[in-house]
Structure 1
């Protein structure tokens, strides 16, 4: 009699699990699951999700472009902070006082119009030109 109960219980559990794996069509599936697979919790760790899709996709891959963008943003912030009169340009003296040695040492190369002041666009154009020259070597 125990064997009959055990067999019936096993069959009921198997049927319940089979129905639980297929959600009704009108019920939206959860976007992110947090069950653990192999001891590590990942956003896509359900067993029915293919292994290749279990790791979340990265939005931005770190690399030279991202590093250049971050560095350029920091340089722009320093440039704006050094612009004491808020004219949008720096003189050689403003660059020297702010410690922007790249502007101070290369001022004549950046100031191609020889106005005595450089804008951030002038600096960016100079940096792009230098990068292209370095790549051509």
Structure 2
């Protein structure tokens, strides 16, 4: 019995110390609890990640995109105002009289179908192509 007692004591102490070293589950943050309750996975729910990095950063792109949208809308309005015969297209003379120098100077490049007139979609496609070409250089 003397030999069994130290072995049991060692086993009990070993299991007690092992339980003390086992990491406990951390208490989730309020954001993680709310997301978990809603069934949403949060990319940064670990409490070791700094708070500033727990929420995904917002995209900065809407500024320039909104600016381009506004510019395109203004150009479309000028295009429609220049369309004196309300055909939905401009010929070279209408573009020149309206002061749309971009359309006038690049008319042949915009009018890829060689119809003698350009629609706003033709102009928009030309501008997108030019922007892509200038971005790739």
Residue ranges of structure 2 left out of the alignment (5+ in a row): 1-51, 53-59
Q: CA deviation at 1:62?
A: 5.7
Instruction: State the alpha-carbon separation in 2 of the partners of residues 108 and 61 from structure 1.
Output: 33
Report the equivalent of 2:134.
134
Q: CA deviation at 1:64?
A: 1.1
Instruction: State the alpha-carbon separation in 1 of the partners of residues 64 and 134 from structure 2.
Output: 15
- The C-alpha deviation readout for 1:38-90, integer Å capped at 9, x for no partner, is xxxxxxxxxxxxxx9xxxxxxx9862101100000000000000000000000
Q: Which has the higher helix share?
A: 2
CA RMSD of the aligned region, Å? 1.9
Report the equivalent of 1:22.
none
Instruction: State the alpha-carbon separation in 2 of the partners of residues 64 and 71 from structure 1.
Output: 10
Instruction: State the alpha-carbon separation in 2 of the partners of residues 88 and 130 from structure 1.
Output: 23
- Which stretches of structure 1, 4 residues or longer, exceed 3 Å deviation after superposition? none
Map 1:1-137 onto structure 2 (within 5 A). Answer: 63-137=63-137
Normalising by structure 1, we get a TM-score of 0.55
Normalising by structure 2, we get a TM-score of 0.55
Task: Name which one, 1 or 2, has greater alpha-carbon Rg.
Answer: 2
SS at match of 1:85: coil
- The C-alpha deviation readout for 1:63-118, integer Å capped at 9, x for no partner, is 21011000000000000000000000000000000000000000000000010000
